[in-house]
């Protein structure tokens, strides 16, 4: 293979690597954003779950208090 052919081939490989790097970078950014959104959603769901748990426990306590009367 001639030297100019090797350089052309190397340039093509570099171009492909640059494109792949850009694609992976965009994908990584999207995945990080998605992870952040899921983490936020998870935190909200945990908070809602705790509120519901506290309300149920409060209702149970009131029912037990009514039973005693």
Question: 0.75 exceeded by the pTM?
Answer: no
Cβ contacts of 1 within 8 Å, gap of 6 or more = 9
2 pLDDT band, cuts 50/70/90, is confident
On the question of pLDDT at 5 being above 80, the answer is yes
So what's the pLDDT on residue 1? 66
DSSP state of 64: H
For CA atoms 52, 58, 62, 68, give the dihedral sign. positive
In this structure, the dihedral spanned by the alpha carbons of residues 47, 50, 54 and 59, taken in order and rounded to 10 degrees, is 100
Taking the C-alpha atoms of residue 17 and residue 5, their distance in angstroms, rounded to an integer, is 18
Taking the C-alpha atoms of residue 19 and residue 32, their distance in angstroms, rounded to an integer, is 20
Q: What does the pLDDT look like over 16-69, one tens digit per residue? A: 999 999 999 999 999 999 999 999 999 999 999 999 999 999 999 999 999 887
């Amino acid at each position: 293979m001639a030297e100019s052919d090797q350089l052309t081939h190397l340039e093509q490989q570099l171009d492909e690597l640059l494109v792949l790097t850009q694609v992976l970078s965009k994908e990584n950014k999207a995945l990080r954003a998605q992870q952040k959104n899921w983490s936020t959603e998870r935190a909200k769901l945990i908070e809602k779950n705790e509120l519901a748990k506290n309300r149920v426990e409060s209702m149970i306590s009131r029912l037990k208090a009514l039973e005693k009367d």
